[in-house]
Amino acid sequence: MPAISMTVNGEKVCGDVEGRTLLVDFIRGNLGKTGTHVGCDTSQCGACVVHVDGKAIKSCTALAVACDGAKVNTVEGLATNGKLHPMQEAFREHHGLQCGFCTPGMIMAGIDIVKRKGKKLKEETIREELEGNICRCTGYHNIVKAIQAGAAKM
Amino acid sequence: MYEFEYHRPKKLADAVKLIKSKKEGKLMSGGMTLIPTMKQRLASPTDVIDLSGLGNSGVSVTKTKVTIKAGTTHAEVASSSDLKKAVPALAALAGMIGDPHVRHKGTIGGSVANADPAADYPAALLALNAKVVTDSRTIEADKFFKSLFETALRTNEIIKQIEFEIPARSAYSKFPNPASRYAMVGVFVADFGKKGVRVGVTGAKGSAYREKAMEKALTADFSADAIAKVKIKADDMNEDIHASAEYRAHLVGVMAKRAVAAAK
Amino acid sequence: MSDTGIGARMLRKEDHRFITGKGRYTDDINLPGQAVGYFLRSPHAHAEIKKIDIKKAEKAPGVLCVLTGEDAAADNIGGVICGWMIHSKDGSPMKAGPHPVLAQGKVRHVGDQVAVVVAHTMAQAKAAAEMINVTYKVLDANVDPVASQKRGAPQVHDVASKNTVFEWEIGDKGATEAAFSNAAHITTLDLTNNRLAPNAMEPRAAIGSYDAGEDHYTLYTTSQNPHVARLVISAFVGLAPEHKLRVIAPDVGGGFGSKIFIYAEEVVCLWASKRAGGVPVKWVADRSEAFLTDANGRDHVTRAELATDKDGKITGLRAKTIANMGAYLSTFASSVPTYLYATLLSGQYNIPNIYAEVDAVYTNTSPVDAYRGAGRPEAAYVVERLVETAARELNIDPAEMRRRNFVQSFPHQTPVIMCYDAGDFDASLNKAMEMIDYAGFEKRKAAAARKGKLRGIGFSNYIEACGIAPSAAVGSLGAGVGLWESAEVRVNPVGTVEILTGSHSHGQGHETTFAQLVSDRLGIPADQVAIVHGDTDKVQFGMGTYGSRSGAVGMTAISKALDKIEAKAKKVAAHVMEASESDVEFKDGSFSVKGTDKKMAFGEVALSAYVAHKFPTSEIEPGLKEGAFHDPTNFTFPAGCHICELEVDADTGVTEIVDWVAVDDFGNVINPMIVEGQVHGGIAQGIGQALTEAVVYDEGGQLLTGSYMDYCMPRADNLPSFKLGFTNTECPSNPLGIKGCGEAGAIAAPAAVMNAMTSALGVKDVPMPATPQNVWNAMAHLREAAE
């Protein structure tokens, strides 16, 4: 089994994985960080979105071994010293979540949108950019508002 | 997923050596199709050779020509400022593939080698008269896409880069499958001036193809009206729960007209 | 109004854990030594099982045990049941076929569970499952519900001749026939209510754990009603008596009905844990498995007719519906197309004569049961499509048509059981029309036409019945359970409060809204209130969360328990302050004695109750804890008006929703922010039904929409932002005056979209979902006209 190491939320971690171990399984299983979720098996729902080397990817469609040496950020790593990330805060303030299952992926996707598209986001842009994230509870109405507000405060 | 051995060579030559030495090796360039396929146990390679270690990425644009290295992600293609100036249609196309997260991982080489009948790039490669440069030869797009998931690539052949001349104007118009967001029909129109107009279509048939009747009409008169009368036959169009053959044939016409109108 | 009381837009207490990745869903739980369960499922829609050879699989690496239906029968593991008895017109009881937890003798849909492999890892379990050799005799599949009753159709269950579960009726047939004979105009529609997959984003999961030392089972599961799961698994499956089974539903990632039901996998995980020697067994569905096995929703084929007089007054409505139950009767399946559907066929209208027949049929498809709205979206669709179509046929403005027929006085007894207790249907219609600028529609339509877009507008004036109750009434209609709710209020000596409730949030925000009620009543901050739910060891009993019942029923139970707390606290306070009990007043969190400056905060009274120094414990027991069970006197009747405006691309058939107004009457609202969120989500699901979603099987019973590659979930770019408004007629049947809001959007939306769609295209009907393909087909007449 290949031994891998990576930096997850700023912490150096290592582990033995099989070639077939998915990044999401490494994060949830080996590291016990269960904030990253799996909602589908065809790379569409986006519940598993994490950042690898600064870019949002679907951790259900990435091999852990291929992320050897990478910097990985998950939803657990967003708050610093107990202070929520503006995007987390915005989801709460704008009721951008209900059951909470898609939320970590949505928040990670939201932050990635800001990185690529800037802090002033139009509703239309946010809706287009959320193509890879499915929510069944909110009708996206408040998610869009939350990302717009969170972006402005980032 | 079945177990396999994972390799991440740093040099193209090593990758070639590896794929040749393995019984059932599979090349991975992004893995956006390969990983889901393996997860469903529909593919069971003994070895996966990940090409992401080759560092083979980047878009370069000269006055007349564009070269995109095989490992360039869709996100990189979509955001290349040089490409946006030279061939905005192709940058826009790359920005329509999958979703932002998929675009961060998926590559042009992976997509072209996989030759999904509903992938976007094949339409562009055909319309742009692109050349697929591999570790051992150069293949013209017209000869590259054979049929459903089948290309002219030999087993163990690795794509290095995609090259094409810059057209005078071009556009891509996509009708996404409502569920998967793959192209249900996608039409890429490229106007090369005196060298004529080329029209690449994806999603509609078993493999991407050129709509030659439209090319002829557009070479004579590059306008949406010029192709209004071109009849698209439904005979060999794909048919599924999302679109009938007739509807797909109709959409080829509509998307082509929209692409022509939008070409720049 | 305080910041945390009733009516406040209080931010959710549960959010912190969800936005920081600290939610605790079933799949996040791992028990020591845990093994995985993997289900081998049928690849065939309909087949006899001739032989299952598990020998090789049993010996495969890492395998703890392999179990089949034979083992279940040998261990007396009963099947899962349907808990609502429906009788046919002829008085005969419904024909429920057996539903074993692992197939016995026959498989009846693709995905039917055939065997379970328990192994240390998922890879080992999957590898072993590939070694199981099942010999099938493949049978013809019965997939089409309409054809299923015809002679020669393949029989799904021996007990149900012609695949018919029941042939049920409601209403006065003779009177309705007479109304139609005398009608000036009859509007007829053939409607298909498309089959939907609920698609909670958290797939179902279960961990079964057997403790041999205590002979006790624990089940962690994705359930909307853990107590009902325990009841069914104990009383019907017979796995263990209730005191030997604990069911825990931790955070649940959405349900929409699909997690009400008791599924075979939950039972198998428990049983397999015992068979594997007490090793906990965990199963987590992947999405493909969810598509094959989660109970679906809707799936009705209906001929509906509306009789009107010459002035557009409705004189009668009749409907004949074939309801597809799938291969097995799921937990509440039989109630959905009967008492949750046809009892709402009066809509918001005064319709003197209604008659409906419903045939429920088996097919070789996954089971169908309640999905957000459950029967009521189907009813609203029938009524609202009929009324709108009749208005067009009679050349009456659709709003005016509705006004002429609205129920105007309450209570109003409909001909189909329901007695509407309150409402103001004109108010919601008028407000919605104003919000969407109905008067300006023609101008907008003309502007759209200039861009090649066909613009349409459609109304949906829905009514629904929530908080299914009272128990005696639902019992007389066939329910196997009572539909009350329980609550316990535990006041701690320091004055903080724990609420134990039988409701169970799976996204609705109970931890917030229930705390708001307590904060309001006891005058303490909401952060001093904890909500305990989802664990049968903690909460004594409860009926769970579905049917928009947790507010109207669950919170009323809490309110009743709070009444008792207040009454007892008053007694305690009277003794401590040496006053007469009748002179003690409780307001804003403090007890005071009339006409004096004597005062005690709620927390002080709580402490006094526990130290018990200053009152006679022979008269007043120490402590401050009260419980209540609440059984409502009636259903509640949320209602409202949704208006959809959409544009269709004439070239492609692509539809864009360009405006949406929803004006709802939910009675009193506890937390407007949460209620708005519920409406948004419901509308999105309703738009999904109307435009994008459908479960499709091929003729052989293979599922064609088995993943998100083919089942089209609405994404952010399919939907607009929604404009919401509210009216309020307080609900008279509960002290809080609340009606329920969870399902309204899903009930209202499909008819609004399709009325707008048919208005845009100038056609009578477009089948749902109105995908670009279906819309393009429906525009054939426009293309012909253009040629």
pLDDT digits (tens, 9 = 90+) for B37-58: 999 999 999 999 999 999 999 9
Mean pLDDT of C357-367: 98
**Residues linked to residue B27 through DSSP beta bridges, in sequence order:** B49
Confidence of residue C783 (pLDDT cuts 50, 70, 90): confident
Alpha carbon B88 to chain centroid, angstroms: 15
C368 or B229: whose pLDDT is higher? C368
Interface mutation target, options B180, B185, B244, chain C, most CBs of C under 10 Å:
B180
Residue the block writes with tokens 């556009």: B171
**Strands lying side by side in the sheet with A55-58:** A11-16, A3-8, A71-73, A49-52, A55-58
Q: Which of B135, B133, B212 is nearest to B144 (CA)?
A: B133
Provide the chain C residues 270-289 that lie in CB contact (below 8 A) with chain B: 288
- What sign does the CA torsion over C686, C690, C693, C698 have? positive
How far is it, in rounded angstroms, from Cα B224 to Cα B171?
A: 12
Q: What is the pLDDT of residue C726?
A: 98
How far is it, in rounded angstroms, from Cα C423 to Cα C412?
A: 10
- pLDDT single digits (tens) C510-554: 999 999 999 999 999 999 999 999 999 999 999 999 988 999 999
Mean pLDDT of A101-108: 98
- Whether the pLDDT of residue C785 is over 90: the answer is no
Confidence of residue B66 (pLDDT cuts 50, 70, 90): very high
- pLDDT single digits (tens) C449-472: 999 999 999 999 999 999 888 899
- What sign does the CA torsion over C40, C46, C49, C50 have? negative
Q: Does A55 touch chain B (CB under 8 A)?
A: yes
Question: And the tokens for C440?
Answer: 């300006």
Measured between beta carbons, the chain A residues lying within 8 angstroms of B37 are none
Q: Kindly state the helix (H) or strand (E) to which residue C394 belongs, with its residue range.
A: helix C376-394
- Whether the pLDDT of residue C734 is over 90: the answer is yes
Output Rg (C-alpha) for chain B, integer angstroms: 18
Map residue C486 onto helix, strand or coil.
strand
Task: Check if the beta carbon of residue B260 is closer than 8 Å to that of residue B230.
Answer: no
Q: Does C773 touch chain B (CB under 8 A)?
A: yes
Q: What is the pLDDT of residue C782?
A: 87
Cross-chain CB nearest to B101 (options A41, A58, A66):
A58
- pLDDT single digits (tens) C598-654: 999 999 999 999 999 999 999 999 999 999 999 999 999 999 999 999 999 999 999
Contact A99 C201 (CB under 8 A): yes
Q: Which residues of B touch C (CB under 8 A)?
A: 1, 3, 40-41, 175, 178-180, 241-244, 247, 250-251, 254
- pLDDT single digits (tens) B172-196: 999 999 999 999 999 999 999 999 9
- Whether the pLDDT of residue C565 is over 70: the answer is yes
Task: Give percent of chain B with pLDDT exceeding 70.
Answer: 100
Q: What is the pLDDT of residue C1?
A: 57
Contact C681 A138 (CB under 8 A): yes
How far is it, in rounded angstroms, from Cα B103 to Cα B97?
A: 7
- pLDDT single digits (tens) A65-81: 999 999 999 999 999 99
How far is it, in rounded angstroms, from Cα B5 to Cα B10?
A: 16
Task: Check if the beta carbon of residue C441 is closer than 8 Å to that of residue C457.
Answer: yes
Task: Give percent of chain C with pLDDT exceeding 70.
Answer: 100
Taking the whole predicted model, whether its pTM rises above 0.90 is answered as yes
CB atoms within 10 A of CB B179: 23
Contact C254 A137 (CB under 8 A): yes
Task: Give percent of chain B with pLDDT exceeding 90.
Answer: 98
Measured between beta carbons, the chain C residues lying within 8 angstroms of A97 are 15, 18-19
Alpha carbon B230 to chain centroid, angstroms: 25
Amino acid identity for residue B236 in this structure: D
Residue the block writes with tokens 């808990």: C83
How far is it, in rounded angstroms, from Cα B251 to Cα B225?
A: 16
Q: Does B98 touch chain A (CB under 8 A)?
A: yes
Cross-chain CB nearest to B244 (options C123, C705, C773):
C773
Mean pLDDT of A118-122: 98
Confidence of residue C763 (pLDDT cuts 50, 70, 90): very high
Average predicted confidence (pLDDT) for chain C? 97
- pLDDT single digits (tens) C42-54: 999 999 999 999 9
Confidence of residue C787 (pLDDT cuts 50, 70, 90): confident
Contact A132 B99 (CB under 8 A): yes
Relative orientation angle of helices C264-275 and C226-235, to the nearest 10 degrees: 60
Strands C47-53 and C133-138: antiparallel
Q: Which of C757, C727, C744 is nearest to C644 (CA)?
A: C757
Helix and strand numbers (H, E) in chain A are 5, 5
φ, ψ of residue B190 to 5 degrees: the values are: -130, 125
Confidence of residue C275 (pLDDT cuts 50, 70, 90): very high
Q: What is the pLDDT of residue C2?
A: 76
How far is it, in rounded angstroms, from Cα C727 to Cα C725?
A: 7
